[in-house]
Structure 1
Amino acid sequence: RSLYCRWEEEIIFNEDIEHFQKNDSQAIMFFQLMDFPSSTGNNQNNTSGFGKEGKGWTTFAWAFLKVVGANGHKNIGQRLRLQLWRPMKSANIGLNELYSWWSSGSRIHYPSTLYVTLRPVTLQEDPPPALRSTIATQAEQGGAQLTHLLDQSSSIAGSKTTLSGHPDRTSVEWDRKPNQSCKIPNRIKHHLSVDSDCLVVKFSHNGIYLACGAHKDVLIYNILSGELLITLNGHFGLIYDVTWSENDNLLLTASADSTARVWNFEANDSNNKSQILAHPSYVYVARFVPGKSRIIVTGCYDHVLRVWSSKKGESYILFQEITNHLGFISALCFSYDGNVLYSGDKQGVILIWNVDKEAKTDKKKGYKTLSLVNEIKLNEVVGTTINALDAHPSGHRLLVHTRDSQMRFVNHNYWTITHRLRGFLNVREQIRGCMSPCGQWVLTGSEDQGVYVWNADSGEMVSAFMDLPLDGTTSCVDFHPHGNIIAISSYSHQAPVLILSFDETSTPVNTSIPRAVLPASSASNVQSTSRITKFTKQDCQIYYQVYR
């Protein structure tokens, strides 16, 4: 067995093929293999930076290819295996350095090879616009269009592209009063078209806006009217997470394109509308520190927890990297006061961190925003991917959503399981549920296209939405911060995002399915059906799917 990388990327040179394959051609192609290594090395709590040679990307190997060999053979139209060589240095390497290493003839073998294929391609005469042009005559749409969307009117929505000028929370009369218990929505209010797979949805803190991570784009809707306000383009991969700053001026997104992005709706300079936070691999989760939107925490596929910090009016910079996790980081959750961070990973391990919001952004003096407090390994959770963590408003319970068709309420003072919430299906995909702001209800999607609701205090399932106009996995459910409203997304092509509201006169969109509580002392592998208090045909189908 061996470990190898596969890029399968295509690079098109806008040159006639004859320019390369002439008999007297001196064309040489250089290949530079680079990595973005963790600065922490083997030291789990090291926060000292990137090393002496430079910051960021380092070169670990290089190769070259002469299009026409010394014997006149043309290396075109066939798969070639190139020997890799070690660089003389690892940072600040350009074409001049590569050429000088090649021309010197003194090279050190790197124990690997690189496969490449050179071939001519036939290009379209009138190619459609793309994010990045492949020929000189092809128009680009994407990054350049982003500033257009944020500075001018949106051609798609026909509305303003900034979030100013819309009603604030205090000018809207919501159907739930402050400190009032939430009611379970029962009527579909809006079908929001997203035209692509949507893995995550998130209401703004003022309750006016909904951000939808629709594959590679972020769509922002006004939930009062259902109007699309802004389309944010810029990501090149699936968007895994979306979160708002407390004043809703910033939006933070995490993506499979190895970046997190900060979108600034208040920036005057169009160049500062979006900032990229580069990572070496997929970014699964990202959060602003409560009360300190200048501090960001991200969780990545490379097992590293990263802290980014910004001074007022400046860009975010990498401040701290921590490698305590042994699996990819899939969940982050702050306590309500923002002084404690919980992080969960693929191994089912939860780490607890103290948060120093006032840590100075000076790595040389050893300041740290996050300090490890404890490592929690719940026996029945270890080895199972944690999808999400959510803090209960009461302040003493943590909701742990795992990829074994269960959610568990855990008392985080003693780390004992108080309730297990079962009945939904989740064994393969990333699904995020939520708690109502009052703390009374827990909601989550499912791989069987349903949405399930439990009483957070008793652990009893009280409702199940089984007939929603969605296909595929219901990937995310988010409860409105001020009203009896929820947003539901589905990871399926062209499925809408649904906005449900509460209407006392409306017929419910589902049939309630009462179930008895499965206490924490119950065996986790339940075979008996005697605990179900009201058993219908639909109950049988759901129960069989989950426990077969």
Structure 2
Amino acid sequence: MELSVGIASQTTSHIRVYHIPSGVLVTQLSELYGLIYEIKFHKDGLMCAAVGDGSVPIWNFNTWNLVCKLSHPSYIYSASFSPKTSTVLVTAGFDRVIRIWRKSRDTSETLAYSVIQELSGHNSHITKVLFDAEAGFLFSGDHIGCIKVWEGPEVKDPNMLESSTDSYQQAPEINWSFRREYHVENPICNLSLHPGGRRLLVHRINPTDPLSMIDLRNGTFMQKYQDIQTFRVPGSSCISPCGTWVLAGSNSGYTILLNTDTGIKKHVYSNVAYSGPVSAVQFHPMENALAIASSQPFSKVHFFMYDKAKDAKLIEDQKILSTPREEKSKYPFNQVAKLIAEKSMEERATKLPSLPVDLQDIVAKLNNAIREQKLSMQANAASNQEYFTTNTEEKEN
């Protein structure tokens, strides 16, 4: 398992790759002349980065060789591969244009992508673009709070977003078209699509209410997530691959794990408290792991892995601690056992055949034993009281 981290200096940026869980540096990639806004992987063995110098470099993460670099006329804030195939790539940034690229050449050492379509319509710079799970729809968000949905060329469902099983088949001529839009008023920092396909997590610049879940069927807010503050970019949030959890970072420097459906806080990562804003949070797509990072200078990246054995032991310990202690029983089990044993010994001594235990006789003897014990306790109490009274009188004299 490997983790890629974007690091910026005063003049340049670069990407460092670490082995997980050892934390050993694997490689440091070539310098980039702008801030790194986003890093994306594809299962085909490629990694791309959206860079502020107007480029989108692409590496082969098996060899970490640079295989291609896509040039743009302005800053690029977001780039993403199609989930279905790495031959299709989308980029967007400051010039308000979404560019869809397709691989035109593929050799053992180099790749070549060319623009096959440009989508325009945003009135401010675009901060985020992403495909849905089936690459049938494309979502884009801008700095004035407008979210646009673009439809792929082979979408079969005419009602769109009424089903999460729509599919996209690569066609000879790509022809993406505008489908609909939503307005959320504040500048958009990040978008994350729920695995179910019908909900979109929207992270906005808002000091009190930045994080909300939108129902894509009607554009209404389904759920709002509290205790997150976002005063400026970057804003970091994502949904777990299973769709159960929302992980969100605050400009205040802390990270919260929330339930997707209820918005209830599950955990606050108080041991990861930065003095600057949390700039990136991400779940691993296959493993039960997550990473948290900050734009604070000289800060560390924290990586967490779920330990099933430790969690099971913790649950077991909680069960043990929560079990109420039983009071010592007042029933004289030892005396009952002694009486039954004596009765058995008497039968053996008389060489009589084994007879059923006479319960009435045992109950009578048990009552006598309890009565004698109570009388003994009362006598002891009276003796103690008399002793206390005598000592008190002697002291007074």
SS of the aligned residue for 1:260 comes to: strand
Q: Distance in 1 between matches of 2:63 and 2:240?
A: 32
Report matched runs for 1:14-93 at 5 Å.
none
Distance 1:312 1:286 in 2: 20
RMSD: 2.1
> 1:369 deviation in Å?
4.1
Establish whether residue 262 from structure 1 lines up as the match of residue 74 from structure 2: no
How far apart, in 1, do the equivalents of 2:143 and 2:136 lie? 24
**Cα contact 1:294–1:312 (8 A) shared by 2:** no
1:351 aligns with 2:148: yes
- Which whole-Å CA distance do the structure 1 matches of 2:80 and 2:175 have between them? 14
**Counterpart contact for 2:252–2:275, Cα < 8 Å:** no
Q: Is the 8 A contact 1:264 1:274 kept in 2?
A: yes
Which residue is 1:475 aligned to?
279
| Of 216, 234, 241, the match for 1:430 | 234
Question: Structure 2 vs 1, CA of residues 425 and 499 (structure 1 numbering), >3 Å: closer, same or farther?
Answer: same
Note if 1:296 corresponds to 2:101.
no
Moved over 6 A (4+): none
Q: Is the CA contact 2:245–2:260 (under 8 Å) kept in the aligned structure 1? A: yes
Change (3 A) 1:372 1:291: same
Change (3 A) 1:266 1:223: closer
Q: Does 1:491 align with 2:295?
A: yes
Bigger fraction of residues in helix: 2
Give the corresponding residue for 1:244.
41
Q: Which residue of the other structure, out of 359, 364, 373, is the alignment partner of 2:179?
A: 373
Whole-Å separation in 1 of the counterparts to 2:230 and 2:293: 15
Q: State how far apart, in whole Å, the 1-side matches of 2:179 and 2:29 are.
A: 38
Q: CA deviation at 1:390?
A: 1.0
Distance in 2 between residues matched to 1:436 and 1:290, nearest whole Å: 16
CA distance in 2, matches of 1:246, 1:265: 10
Whether the aligned pair in 2 keeps the contact of 1:452 and 1:461 (CA below 8 Å) is yes
Residue 326 of structure 1, CA deviation: 0.8
Deviation at 1:264, TM superposition (A): 2.5
Code of the aligned partner of 2:181: E
Query: Partner letter of residue 465 of structure 1?
Result: Y
Is residue 232 of structure 2 the alignment partner of residue 420 of structure 1? no
1:526-545 to structure 2, matched below 5 A, reads none
Q: 1:467: how far off?
A: 3.5
How many correspondences in the alignment?
287
- Residues 390, 435 of structure 1: 8 Å contact kept: yes
Cα drift, residue 267 of structure 1: 7.5
User: What is the identity, as a one-letter code, of the residue corresponding to 2:171?
Assistant: A
Matched, 1:287 2:80: yes
Separation in structure 2 between the aligned mates of residue 218 and residue 425 of structure 1, nearest angstrom:
28
Kept in 2, the 8 Å contact 1:475–1:490? The answer is: yes
Shift of 1:240: 0.3
Contact preservation (8 Å) 2:5, 2:16: yes
**What is the alpha-carbon distance in structure 1 between the residues aligned to residue 214 and residue 235 of structure 2?**
19
Give, in angstroms, the shift of residue 265 of structure 1: 3.9
Letter matched to residue 497 of structure 1:
V
Equivalent AA in structure 2 for residue 393 of structure 1? P
The 3 A distance-change label for structure 1 pair 266 and 502 is closer
Q: 1:322 aligns with which of 119, 138, 141?
A: 119
Q: Deviations over 1:184-228 (max 9, x none)?
A: xxxxxxxxxxxxxxxxxxxxxxxx221111121111122132221
Q: Deviations over 1:102-131 (max 9, x none)?
A: xxxxxxxxxxxxxxxxxxxxxxxxxxxxxx
Contact kept? 1:470, 1:496, Cα under 8 Å: no
> Normalized against structure 2, the TM-score is what?
0.68
Q: CA, structure 1 residues 231+369, in 2 after alignment: closer, same or farther (shift >3 Å)?
A: farther
Which AA in structure 1 matches 2:192?
A: D
Aligned partner letter, 1:330: T
Cα deviations by residue, 1:57-108 (Å, 9 ceiling, x for unpaired) = xxxxxxxxxxxxxxxxxxxxxxxxxxxxxxxxxxxxxxxxxxxxxxxxxxxx
Q: TM-score, normalised by structure 1?
A: 0.50
Distance 1:505 1:497 in 2: 23
Aligned residue in 2 for 1:447 = 251
Contact 1:409 1:418 in 2 (8 A): yes
Question: Is 1:477–1:487's contact at 8 Å kept on the other side of the alignment?
Answer: yes
Q: Give the Cα separation in 2 of the matches to 1:470 and 1:402.
A: 21
When residues 461 and 267 of structure 1 are mapped into structure 2, their CA distance, relative to the original with a 3 A threshold, is closer
Q: Please tell me whether the aligned partners of residues 236 and 250 of structure 2 are also in contact (alpha carbons under 8 angstroms).
A: no
Distance 1:481 1:368, change over 3 A: closer
- Residue 402, structure 1, aligned to residue 208, structure 2: no
Q: Highest Rg: 1 or 2?
A: 2
Question: Secondary structure at 1:292's aligned position in 2?
Answer: coil
After superposition, residues 81-480 of structure 1 pair within 5 angstroms as 208-215=1-8, 216-247=13-44, 249-265=45-61, 273-313=66-106, 314-356=111-153, 357-360=169-172, 367-377=173-183, 381-382=184-185, 384-404=186-206, 405-468=209-272, 470-480=274-284
**CA–CA distance in 1 between the matches of 2:14 and 2:279?**
16
Q: Which amino acid aligns with 1:283?
A: I
| Shift of residue 298, structure 1, vs aligned partner | 0.5
Deviation of the 1:311 alpha carbon: 2.9
Partners in 2 of 1:267 and 1:310 — Cα distance? 20
Post-superposition offset of 1:351 = 0.7
Deviation at 1:312, TM superposition (A): 4.8
- Contact 1:303–1:323 (CA under 8 A) maintained in structure 2: yes
Contact 1:294 1:309 in 2 (8 A): yes
User: What's the offset of the Cα at 1:443?
Assistant: 0.7
Following superposition, the deviation at residue 482 of structure 1 comes to 2.6
- Quote how far apart the aligned CAs of 1:342 are: 0.8
> Following TM superposition, by how much is the alpha carbon of 1:469 offset from its aligned partner in structure 2, in angstroms?
5.3
- The aligned amino acid for 2:146 is V
Partner of 1:190: none
